[in-house]
């Protein structure tokens, strides 16, 4: 499952080296050692040249890292998770106390402290104490939501990796198909020229010339479609890797064998499971609302007045306690508890649905990968081998004078078409492999 055109070049150079050094096989042992040394030196230079050519290009691993670092959705989820971590601490704390300022027993319409001995200025402080269960439930709910976001971040990272791999592989396969289509265009042009030259000798070739020109014209549509697909894919890949521009030349990508299934531990299953846990914490919060909170107030009052009923500048102390009375719970606390329990029932279906969907996706992708991998192997080991042999046979017949050059070009066109089909099959195989990477947690 390799998308690496330079590898073919290395293989060709290795073969050439071996063919060159093969003439030394009959020499004495020092000569054989020298030939082997030359062979390995040339091989090392060929690999080094290819590696240095790829060194300055963006690789798939670098693209994956950049996409993960710059994805806005992942950045948003990470920031929200940090916020929920702070909310979990804040939710368990007592509310702020209140400073109380007041006037008591102020007569009207005089508004005079001197005319009423009980008139006073008051200064106090009040503190509300929500039920401990309520504070703990709110803190647990924020913690559960943070854990859910952690799993959502893991899922998002997998999704970004899948999209980046898919676009990268799509782009390189499309570029390979475009190169093959250009080769076909060159062969068709040459075929048209050959048939056109023969038409000057015999009018019987006119139909063949027109057919060749029509094939060449139709090929332009395929070239345009591939160029448009490449442009769309580059734009989508550039969006994932923004803000840095996408280089024109990308390093060849190599996809490993798909990993085994990990559906039970897949982040999407973890997200659905943690949403169930989160729903249960909402039930706890709704149940805690039935427990009363209370409030305490304490302060001092300064009384003014010079009548016999009071002495000037008397200082008074006041204190009070208020307790919630959850008496009317039918249409508020009870309704919220009922809604929270219904949400638990809804959340319980999540892991079942996700597991079924991922299982079906795994079976489908695994079957597709096996089918297309077998087809790619068949094209590589059989179809293309036969097509090359057919092309070589037509060339031998042409060189021996048994036929014209047009059948050679037709055989070459057939071989190029088979190569394009193999690239299409490899693209479908790699698409299935990328889905398996996602389902395997990679």
- Does 371 lie in the same domain as 242? yes
What is the pairing mode between strands 2-3 and 294-303?
Answer: unpaired
Instruction: Report how far apart the first and last C-alpha atoms of the chain are (Å, whole number).
Output: 16
| pLDDT more than 90, % of the chain | 55
- Does 312 lie in the same domain as 195? no
Sequence-separated (6 or more) residues with CB below 8 Å from residue 262? 439, 440, 441
Determine the pLDDT at residue 160.
96
Q: Rounded to 10 degrees, what is the CA torsion of 159, 165, 167, 169?
A: -160
- pLDDT value at 24 more than 50: no
Closest CA to 272 of 175, 346, 206: 346
Q: Which range scores top for mean pLDDT: 56-65, 245-254, 411-420?
A: 411-420
What number is the average pLDDT over the span 319-344?
91
- pLDDT value at 53 more than 60: no
- Does 313 lie in the same domain as 246? no
Q: How far is CA 245 from CA 62, 159, 169, 254, 409, in A?
A: 14, 21, 18, 23, 41
Strand partners for 103: 121
Over the chain, what is the mean pLDDT? 84
- Does 197 lie in the same domain as 119? no
The CA distance from 68 to 78, in Å, is 12
pLDDT digits (tens, 9 = 90+) for 71-120: 999 999 999 989 988 988 988 899 899 999 988 877 777 777 777 777 78
Determine the pLDDT at residue 236.
94
The CA distance from 77 to 75, in Å, is 6
Host H or E run for residue 406: helix 406-439
Higher local confidence (pLDDT), 53 or 176: 176
Determine the pLDDT at residue 412.
94
- pLDDT category of residue 280 using cuts at 50, 70 and 90: very high
260-266 — which CB contacts under 8 Å span 24+ positions? 260/440, 261/362, 261/439, 261/440, 262/439, 262/440, 262/441, 263/355, 263/358, 263/359, 263/362, 263/439, 264/355, 265/441, 266/354, 266/358, 266/439, 266/441
pLDDT digits (tens, 9 = 90+) for 6-18: 434 434 443 443 3
Determine the pLDDT at residue 105.
79
- pLDDT category of residue 401 using cuts at 50, 70 and 90: confident
pLDDT digits (tens, 9 = 90+) for 184-235: 999 999 988 888 877 666 665 678 888 888 888 999 999 999 999 999 999 9
- Does 428 lie in the same domain as 375? yes
- Does 70 lie in the same domain as 200? yes
Which of 300, 325, 350 is the endpoint of a domain?
325
- Does 282 lie in the same domain as 162? yes
Q: Please tell me what DSSP assigns to residue 112.
A: -
3-state secondary structure of 373: helix
Q: Which range scores top for mean pLDDT: 39-48, 77-86, 312-321, 370-379?
A: 370-379
Sequence-separated (6 or more) residues with CB below 8 Å from residue 13? 42, 43, 46
- Report the number of distinct structural domains present in the chain: 3
Determine the pLDDT at residue 194.
82
CATH number at residue 429: 1.20.1600.10
pLDDT digits (tens, 9 = 90+) for 407-436: 899 999 999 999 999 999 999 999 999 999
- pLDDT value at 19 more than 70: no
Which of 325, 343, 369 is the endpoint of a domain?
325
Determine the pLDDT at residue 259.
84
- pLDDT value at 28 more than 60: no
Q: Picking from 14-28, 75-89, 233-247, 390-404, which range would have the lowest pLDDT averaged per residue? A: 14-28
- Does 305 lie in the same domain as 352? no
Determine the pLDDT at residue 243.
87
Residue 129 structure tokens: 């104490």
Determine the pLDDT at residue 9.
43
- pLDDT value at 258 more than 60: yes
The predicted model scores a pTM of 0.76
Q: What sign does the CA torsion over 355, 360, 362, 363 have?
A: positive
- Does 141 lie in the same domain as 216? yes
- pLDDT value at 351 more than 90: yes
**Domain interval for residue 18:** 1-55
Range list of H helices, 200-306: 206-240, 267-288
- pLDDT category of residue 41 using cuts at 50, 70 and 90: low
Determine the pLDDT at residue 158.
95
Closest CA to 351 of 265, 414, 230, 439: 265
Q: What sign does the CA torsion over 424, 426, 64, 366 have?
A: positive
Determine the pLDDT at residue 191.
86
- Does 161 lie in the same domain as 144? yes
- Does 135 lie in the same domain as 117? no
- Does 142 lie in the same domain as 192? yes
- pLDDT category of residue 44 using cuts at 50, 70 and 90: low
Determine the pLDDT at residue 46.
52
Determine the pLDDT at residue 91.
85
The CA distance from 289 to 332, in Å, is 10
Residue-by-residue DSSP string for 17-81: HHHHHGGGTTS-HHHHHHHHHHHHHHHHHHHHHHHHHHHTSBPHHHHHHHHHHH-HHHHHHHHHH
Q: How far is CA 98 from CA 91, 95, 264, 323, 381, in A?
A: 18, 9, 51, 17, 83
Higher local confidence (pLDDT), 442 or 12: 442
């Amino acid at each position: 499952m390799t998308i690496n055109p330079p590898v073919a070049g290395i293989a060709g150079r290795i073969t050439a080296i071996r063919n060159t050094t093969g003439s030394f096989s009959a020499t004495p042992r020092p000569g054989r050692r020298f030939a082997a040394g030359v062979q390995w030196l040339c091989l090392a230079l060929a690999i080094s040249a290819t590696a240095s050519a790829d060194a300055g290009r963006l690789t798939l691993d670098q693209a994956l890292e950049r996409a993960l670092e710059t994805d806005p959705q992942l950045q948003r989820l990470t920031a929200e998770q940090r916020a929920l971590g702070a909310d979990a601490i804040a939710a368990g704390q007592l509310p702020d106390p209140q400073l109380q300022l007041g006037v008591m027993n102020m007569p009207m319409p005089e508004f005079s402290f001197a005319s009423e001995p009980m008139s006073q200025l008051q200064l106090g402080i009040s503190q509300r104490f929500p039920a401990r269960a309520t504070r703990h439930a709110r803190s647990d709910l924020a913690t559960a939501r943070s854990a859910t976001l952690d799993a959502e971040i893991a899922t998002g990272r997998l999704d970004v990796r899948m999209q980046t791999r898919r676009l990268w592989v799509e782009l390189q396969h499309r570029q390979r198909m475009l190169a093959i289509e250009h080769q076909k265009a060159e062969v068709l042009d040459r075929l048209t020229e050959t048939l056109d030259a023969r038409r000057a000798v015999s009018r019987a070739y006119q139909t063949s010339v027109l057919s060749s020109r029509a094939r060449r014209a139709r090929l332009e549509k395929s070239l345009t479609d591939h160029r448009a697909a490449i442009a769309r894919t580059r734009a989508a890949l550039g969006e994932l890797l923004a803000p840095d521009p996408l280089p024109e030349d990308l390093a060849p990508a190599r996809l490993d064998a798909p990993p085994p299934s990990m559906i039970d531990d897949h982040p999407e299953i973890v997200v659905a499971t943690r949403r169930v846990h989160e729903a249960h914490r909402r039930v706890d919060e709704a149940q805690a609302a039935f427990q009363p909170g209370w409030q305490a107030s304490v302060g001092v009052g300064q009384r003014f007045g010079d009548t016999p009923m009071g002495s000037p500048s008397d200082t008074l102390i006041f204190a009070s306690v208020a307790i919630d009375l959850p008496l009317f719970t039918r249409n508020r606390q009870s309704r919220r508890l009922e809604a929270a329990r219904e949400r638990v029932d809804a959340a319980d279906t999540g892991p079942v649905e996700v597991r079924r969907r991922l299982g079906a996706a795994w079976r489908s992708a695994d079957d597709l990968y096996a089918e297309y991998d077998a087809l790619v192997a068949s094209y590589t080991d059989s179809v293309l081998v036969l097509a090359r042999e057919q092309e070589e046979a037509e060339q031998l017949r042409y060189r021996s004078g048994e036929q014209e050059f047009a059948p050679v070009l037709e055989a070459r066109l057939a071989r190029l078409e088979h190569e394009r089909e193999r690239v299409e099959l490899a693209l479908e195989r790699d698409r299935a492999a990328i889905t398996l990477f996602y389902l395997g947690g990679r």
